[in-house]
Structure 1
Amino acid sequence: MTMQSLLKTALIAVCLTVHLSAIGQRKSLFNGKDLSGWTIHGTEKWYVEDGELVCESGPDAEYGYLSTTETYKDFELVVHFKQEADGNSGVFIRSDIEGVKIEGWQVEVAPLGNHTGGIYESYGRGWLIQPAPEDEQYLKPGAWNKMKIRAVGGEVTTWLNGKQMVQLSDEKIGEATGFIALQIHDGGGIKVRWKKMSIKEL
């Protein structure tokens, strides 16, 4: 084997090691200072205040999204949110967007009794699964909530404040890869705070 071939083989090995070491490592998606690593879609407000990420209705009162610049396939995502005002929002997974038309799957974040933790397919089949009515009570209005989303292949499971909300097996979801996005619903008067957002690729 020539020296050039040896160097090429060594470089491939190093790159593979770096890639494998990244898998399974939890990393933060929000630095608490600015919107680095995120892209704004639409005219609604996204800003950082007191180390928290805030989404708030803008003058157009339309849909708005904040998407990661990186795409993800299999992962475990943890976010903390607090609903202020109407609080209608959501977390999109394996998604794609053009303008403010998003295609993908939303894990709902909404006022009490509106299926937080359920999974909705945007511009597609609509609601795929909703939490049991008795589980809606695990949402804490006006307080911080912890949501966990685990997506592996076509299996998606959500938890809210430690309670499993839904588990879905779906072939279409299993075929997709895309970014993660936070949503602000249209209609105006909406405000949601986010913090401690982290992801672990699986």
Structure 2
Amino acid sequence: MKSALLLLAFSATTVFAQLPAGTKPPGEDWIQLYNGKDVANWNSVGGQQWTSEDGILTGKAVNKSYGYLETLRDYKDFQLSLRFKCVGSGNSGVYFHTKFKPGTADVSQGAQFEIDCRIGQHTAGVYGFGRAWIVWPSPQNETVVRQTDWNEMLVTVEGNHYTSRLNGVQMVDFTDPRAPFIQGTIALQLHSGGDGHMQFKDIWVRDLTKK
């Protein structure tokens, strides 16, 4: 057993030594997007209210328009991990490969992993690119979402390949043959209608583009 452990440690050290300079090994290359204090790493689009308190990021609609909180840089291939909780009756989503028309909250490109705590609303499915639903979870997984508690979501985007896990359950694994875009920002959405009220925390991203 001791010899096996020594061999494993030696192998891991050898692999990490071969990583390009400045590259962190898997598991250590996650970046905290939300620092638990403010929205310094984000850009607000659409004029909705985004506040931070006690490590929780809250988005609350103040008008009937869409609202977004987008990253300051583009991502191509990535993994994103977060926790979300639905407080109001509105819905939300994690947009990817996103761009907005200048000076507006109109999405000019992008799709989203749906967030909606009502049963049967395809949370963790993919919607957008001007085509409505692209893929949604199997019917037996529609009850995985927790309606009044925190949910854990992990999404992976690699080019036109999209996967998502919700509360430990795989929801979609889909390669989109019609994907028109493969790069853009990541954005948290507040759906239009005026009753959007969502909470997020523990938001981390792992850039896979150079992996």
Instruction: Please tell me the TM-score bracket, short chain as reference.
Output: 0.7 to 0.9
Q: Which runs of 5+ in 1 are unaligned?
A: 1-15
Q: For residue 191 of structure 1, what is the aligned residue in structure 2?
A: 197
| 1:54-93 paired onto structure 2 within 5 Å | 54-58=58-62, 60-93=63-96
Q: Which runs of 5+ in 2 are unaligned?
A: 1-19
Give the deviation of 1:94 after TM superposition: 1.2
Whether 2:129 is the aligned partner of 1:126: answer: no
1:117·1:165 contact (CA, 8 Å) conserved in 2? yes
Cα separation, 1, equivalents of 2:25 and 2:181: 22
Alignment deviations for residues 158-202 of structure 1 (CA, whole Å, 9 cap, x no partner): 110010111110144385111100000011122110000001112
Q: For residue 171 of structure 2, what is the aligned residue in structure 1?
A: 165
Alignment deviations for residues 54-107 of structure 1 (CA, whole Å, 9 cap, x no partner): 01110x221011100011111111010010111400000111112111120100
Runs of 4+ with >6 A deviation = none
The one-letter code of the counterpart of 2:54 is: D
TM-score scaled by length of structure 2: 0.82
3-state SS of paired residue (2:72): strand
C-alpha RMSD over aligned residues = 1.7
Identity of aligned residues (%): 35
Whether 2:183 is the aligned partner of 1:180: answer: no
Cα separation, 2, equivalents of 1:146 and 1:38: 21
Range moving further from structure 2, 22-31 or 45-54: 22-31
1:44·1:57 contact (CA, 8 Å) conserved in 2? yes
TM-score scaled by length of structure 1: 0.85
1:155·1:174 contact (CA, 8 Å) conserved in 2? no
Give the deviation of 1:22 after TM superposition: 8.6
3-state SS of paired residue (1:165): strand
Q: For residue 120 of structure 2, what is the aligned residue in structure 1?
A: 113
Alignment deviations for residues 87-145 of structure 1 (CA, whole Å, 9 cap, x no partner): 400000111112111120100001222110110014x1111011112101100011000
Cα separation, 2, equivalents of 1:85 and 1:34: 22
The one-letter code of the counterpart of 2:152 is: K
Q: For residue 11 of structure 1, what is the aligned residue in structure 2?
A: none
Richer in strand (by share): 1
| 1:16-35 paired onto structure 2 within 5 Å | 17-18=21-22, 20-21=23-24, 25-35=29-39
